[in-house]
Copies of this chain bind each other. A is one copy, B any other.
Amino acid sequence: MDIARDATLHQRILNDLESQIVSGAWAPGHRLPFEVDLAKQYGCSRMTVNKVMTQLAKAGLIERRKKSGSFVTQPQAQSAVLEIHDIKTEVASLKLAYSYALLVTTERDADIEDRRRLGLEKAGPVLEVRCIHLAAGDPFCLEERLINLDVVPDARHADFSTIAPGPWLLERAPWTAAQHNIQAVGADRDMAKLLKLKPETACLVIERRTWNTIGPVTHVRFTYPGTRHRVVADFQPSSSQPR
């Protein structure tokens, strides 16, 4: 990669070191030159090098040990993190009035499909909740949720007509792991009707399964009219500081 001619020294050093690491020229475990040596090499002060190295360390590319030096870390698999988003906030950020309506709740023993959705091995009591989120009175997204009552028994007595199951669960059963599944589908007849769309309109479907230390907590499927809404993902893998 070429470096812009007018890049700052900081950027140049950062780029150089990063290239060595990312390219694999410096394998994990490799010790970087000492700060003073790099400073001499670039003809700058140790402070400048120090700031670069601090940034690399924050980014997780290197690990620093006093007296020993700085070392390239094992590349951690690039895991994708999608933060659980709150629809109310999402709507609020659009400066639209938020409202919410419970459609139906059903308690039953997990059937095959329920077990697939939750990733359950055996049957067990589950609660199905269907509800709709509205923005400025219009359908914003449909929520189809399955809650594992073995893990969250209290959900039986929750009043989901006044609070959406998402926020309710977030308070009571914080998740420790989750998996997302995003796809585009054409709306079927029922979906189109609920979201007030023409059939076959492209919709964005976000499915999320969450676990806590006990087991699978919930599976939820959000269906958004795809052309109006979107998911934004900000990235911060390498040398930038995570939020």
Contact = CB atoms under 8 A, between A and B. Distances in A.
Interface string A202-222: 111100001011110000000
Interface stretch (A38-46, A115-123, A135-143, A183-191): A183-191
Contact of A82 (B4, B175, B229, B235): B235
A176 B226 CA distance: 29
A53 to B, nearest CB: 13
Interface in A142-187: 150-154, 171-186
Interface string A76-95: 11111111111001100100
Nearest to A233: B180
Interface of A: 1-4, 7, 11, 14-15, 18-19, 22-23, 55, 58-61, 75-86, 89-90, 93, 150-154, 171-186, 200-205, 210, 212-215, 224, 226-227, 229-243
A80 B231 contact: yes
A156 to B, nearest CB: 11
A186 to B, nearest CB: 4
Nearest to A173: B1
12 contacts: A1-B152, A11-B214, A60-B243, A76-B234, A79-B233, A176-B237, A177-B235, A179-B234, A180-B234, A182-B232, A183-B184, A213-B239
B81 A214 contact: no
A153 B134 CA distance: 48
B184 A227 contact: yes
Contacts of A151: 4
Contact of A183 (B4, B80, B150, B231): B231
Contacts of A153: 2
- Which one of A79, A86, A89, A173 has the greatest number of beta carbons of chain B within 10 Å? A79
A126 to B, nearest CB: 16
Contacts of A185: 184, 202, 226-227
A203 B204 contact: no
- Which one of A78, A84, A237 has the greatest number of beta carbons of chain B within 10 Å? A78
Contacts of A59: 241-243
A104 to B, nearest CB: 25
